[in-house]
Amino acid sequence: MPSNLAAATTVALGEAAIPLLGRANIWVDALDRAAVPVAQAVIQAAVDGTAPGQLEVVVFDQGLSGLAAPFRPLMDSGGEKILRLLGDEADLKAALGHWRAHIQGVNNVIQGETATLVEYRRQVDYPVEGYKLVVLSADFSLLDEGVRTQLGVLFKAGPPAGVSFLVHSLADGVNPFLLKAFERLSPWKGVVEWEGHGPIIGWSPPPARSLTDSATKAVAASAGARVDPIRFRDVQPDDRLWDGSSADGLSFAIGRYGRDIVTLTLGDELNQRHNLLVTGAVGQGKSNLISVIVHSLCQRYAPTELELYLLDFKEGVTLQPFYEHGQYLPHARVLGLEADREFGLSVFRCLHEIYRQRMRQFKAIGVQSISEYRRAEPAAVMPRIVLVVDEFQLMFAERDKVSDEIADLLVKGVRLFRACGIHVVLASQTIGGNMALMGSTGEGLFGQVPIRLALKNSLAESHATLSVKNDAATDLRVGQAIVNQDYGEPQSNCKTSIALADRDDLAARRQRWWENRPPTTTPPSVFEGSAKRSLALDWERLRAVAQTAGPRLFLGSRIEVGARPLDVGFAKEVGRNAAVVGAGEVIPQLQSMVLSLALQRPCHFVIADLLNGHPVWDETKELFLDLLRQAGSTAPVIGKDDLPAAVADLAALVAAGRGAEPTTVIVGLGLDRARDLPPEFPDLLRNGPAAGVHLIGWWQKLESFREQTGPYGGGEANFDIRLALKLDAGSAKQLMADPLLEWRAADNRMIVWDVAELPEAVSAIPYSRLDPETVRALGRPA
């Protein structure tokens, strides 16, 4: 197998060594079938003699000669396509632009240090760029004049940049000056004449089987080949820690461009570069690139100079190492693992509040930007903030109020945040589907994002990321990116090899950052969309409200930065009943709600068990009741037959003007089955709360809830607090009294509305099943 730097700078035909990659082009002067094996032998020699993964063969076979047929296995080489076929002259015209841009890019890398790419690769001892062999099997003189003119330029400029051409065509009528760019081979009656050298001795056509074998071996070698990656430590050394000041911006390294380390800066006020876009198809290294960016920033800047808000709208794997084993990334203020749109909205609201606070600080001392503020107040601590959103496009997957508000805050943010040192990094596999938001004009979001990093992607995504004139992202290999700092203008493309985020290296750095974190550092706010919520997490809040005048009913967790518990008042006031409607994991939710009251002050709970057997309730019932008793509450359990009498007795107590002491709460489990409720039930719902008698009830169906609580649904007015779990969208709209409600039932989610305390229904995370941690935390009264 050739070494990583090997290139077929010559190809052997018989005893002749004919120059090729990095040195020359080859013209096979004939169009008959006898000339095809000569061209195939050149292709075979190039494939055999070039390092795996370092050569791309592009074939335009206008005359359908079958020249590429034996090499078809090269098209099945996985992510790195070794062979690409151009179908017609339109494809050829499109490819001309790619080759021209590629040659310009190689020349920009070499910068005149060597005469050829081959020499430059040897000098830097790294396989910079790659080689192309372009095969044109056509009557050259019949090609479009514009195509011939462009090819004439490429024939001369291509070989030193590693782009060589193999033309299979008659030379009659071709400009002699153009032919000077070629080594010319003329097959005739089994003999191949090399112009200027005479007949090639020992030439014989290669067997068809050997051509296929070469292709198959090249595919296998490419799959198993590994070019030594650019190490992260080579672009971001670890000998210096936190020695950077973010007063005038944040710089970070991502890879190499030839010999040079590619470093980008957010907060560059001279060039107005404040935000960044990253795109790349699946498997092209987007997660690796994000990791490189984050770790380079964190190596350079202390937590007092840099704060990170990190959101992942996919699986959260990229961000997982930043909070594990009791340690966390000191720079991180927010980690959104498996973030959802409501949490994303909360983050944008939080950042806009930080923006307003900082602008008030600037105004107070007469400055307009963070750089001016830092110069005026050198002792002040005001870190720059970087928001990184991976798969940000998922925030707009549904057109509703949430996505509209996120879009509004995002567009405003990228325009306004720069002044106060907040920068946005947006990453996605695809961005082309929402051009109303993402349009490249100055009015759209991307008009505020001059820095674009495009990994390999489709033509449409290249245009969406870079510009409608820039398709450079289609002509990349895995681990390469187009870096463009001028809103995607093609002439500003810089093809960069991205560093590899080595796991062990980065883990060692994070350990060092953890050990050197400032004493004032606090853990980040972590949100994991699928993580279960335990009432135990809200113990401190429970202790605090236990000292207040009125009890609070804990419903779950808000989907926001800080994950505050969602709790509402549950004092002796009209309407303070709670209805839970729907299916799903309702039992843990009800148990946690009831426990939250018991842990604040003793109550008398009447547990109406109408479930007729329920696995979760049956398994946790005794543990639940024991916790209530430990907290000082009483909790008799009654069945379906006892419920009517209990309701009647409590209704009579209220009607007599006697309040319940202690507070009495009927906990109705499966009230859909309660068909014999007394006529006093609606009156108890209306008058009971003010007398200290409340209902926390669960109905699976909205129709049952309405039927039991009062005629024609009017009894709903006696339930200020309403929760829906796994309830269909239409019923949720009715329950929340909001015909415009946009909500879809999902695992680990509920919709909540408190008429008295919440201006509108909100999505929240319900409480999960009782577990040992919850029992240990809650097995004691407040």
d(CA 340, CA 772): 28
d(CA 701, CA 727): 8
Give 188's pLDDT tier (boundaries 50, 70, 90). Answer: confident
Taking the alpha carbons at both ends of the chain, their separation in whole angstroms is 73
Distances (CA, A) of 719 to 573, 578, 589, 706, 713: 11, 6, 17, 11, 11
pLDDT in tens, 652-678: 999 998 877 899 999 999 999 998 889
Give residue 398's pLDDT.
Answer: 79
Could you tell me the two tokens for 408?
A: 């509004």
Which of 599, 703, 600, 608 lies closest to 650, judged by CA? 608
Give residue 318's pLDDT.
Answer: 79
The one-letter amino acid at 193: E
pLDDT at 32 over 50: yes
Average pLDDT across the chain, whole number: 90
- Axis-axis angle for helices 586-598, 615-630 (nearest 10): 10
Give residue 389's pLDDT.
Answer: 95
Give residue 440's pLDDT.
Answer: 43
d(CA 592, CA 598): 10
User: Assign residue 190 a region: left if phi > 0, alpha if psi is -120 to 50, beta otherwise?
Assistant: left
d(CA 640, CA 79): 64
d(CA 505, CA 234): 11
Could you tell me the two tokens for 152?
A: 């004439």
The one-letter amino acid at 770: L
In the block, tokens 């003793």 appear at 602
pLDDT in tens, 62-104: 888 889 989 988 887 555 678 999 989 999 998 998 899 889 8
Could you tell me the two tokens for 673?
A: 């089955």
Q: What is the mean pLDDT of residues 603-614?
A: 94
pLDDT in tens, 504-532: 999 999 999 999 999 999 999 999 888 88
Give 220's pLDDT tier (boundaries 50, 70, 90). Answer: confident
Sign for the CA dihedral angle at 440, 441, 443, 447 comes to positive
d(CA 77, CA 94): 23
Give residue 782's pLDDT.
Answer: 40
Contact 721, 713 (CB under 8 A): no
Instruction: Indicate the burial class of 331 (C-beta count within 10 angstroms; 0-12, 13-18, 19 or more).
Output: buried
Give residue 650's pLDDT.
Answer: 95
Contact 424, 387 (CB under 8 A): yes
Give residue 351's pLDDT.
Answer: 98
Which of 611, 661, 674, 653 lies closest to 634, judged by CA? 661
User: Picking from 34-38, 647-651, 712-716, which range would have the lowest pLDDT averaged per residue?
Assistant: 712-716
Which of 334, 426, 424, 419 lies closest to 382, judged by CA? 419
Q: CA-CA-CA-CA torsion for 442, 445, 446, 449, nearest 10 degrees?
A: 100
Q: What is the mean pLDDT of residues 540-558?
A: 89
Give residue 620's pLDDT.
Answer: 93
Q: What is the mean pLDDT of residues 772-779?
A: 70
DSSP assigned state of 72 = G
Give residue 605's pLDDT.
Answer: 98
pLDDT at 1 over 50: no
Neighbouring-strand partners of residue 285: none
Give 437's pLDDT tier (boundaries 50, 70, 90). Answer: low
User: Picking from 472-486, 598-612, 619-633, 735-749, which range would have the lowest pLDDT averaged per residue?
Assistant: 472-486
Distance of CA 407 to the CA centre of its chain: 17
Rounded percentage of the chain residues whose pLDDT exceeds 70: 95
Give 590's pLDDT tier (boundaries 50, 70, 90). Answer: very high
DSSP character string of 721-734: EEEEES--HHHHHH
Give residue 42's pLDDT.
Answer: 94
Which of 404, 767, 776 lies closest to 627, judged by CA? 776
Give 225's pLDDT tier (boundaries 50, 70, 90). Answer: low
Rounded percentage of the chain residues whose pLDDT exceeds 90: 66
Could you tell me the two tokens for 779?
A: 């097995």
Contact 83, 173 (CB under 8 A): no
Contact 715, 685 (CB under 8 A): yes
Give residue 339's pLDDT.
Answer: 79
Contacts for 130 with CB less than 8 Å, ≥ 6 apart: 53, 54, 55, 56, 162, 477
Could you tell me the two tokens for 729?
A: 């969208």
pLDDT at 435 over 80: no
Could you tell me the two tokens for 451?
A: 């820095």
Helix, strand, or coil (residue 10): strand
User: Which is more confident, 466 or 350?
Assistant: 350
Give residue 442's pLDDT.
Answer: 45
Instruction: Indicate the burial class of 466 (C-beta count within 10 angstroms; 0-12, 13-18, 19 or more).
Output: buried
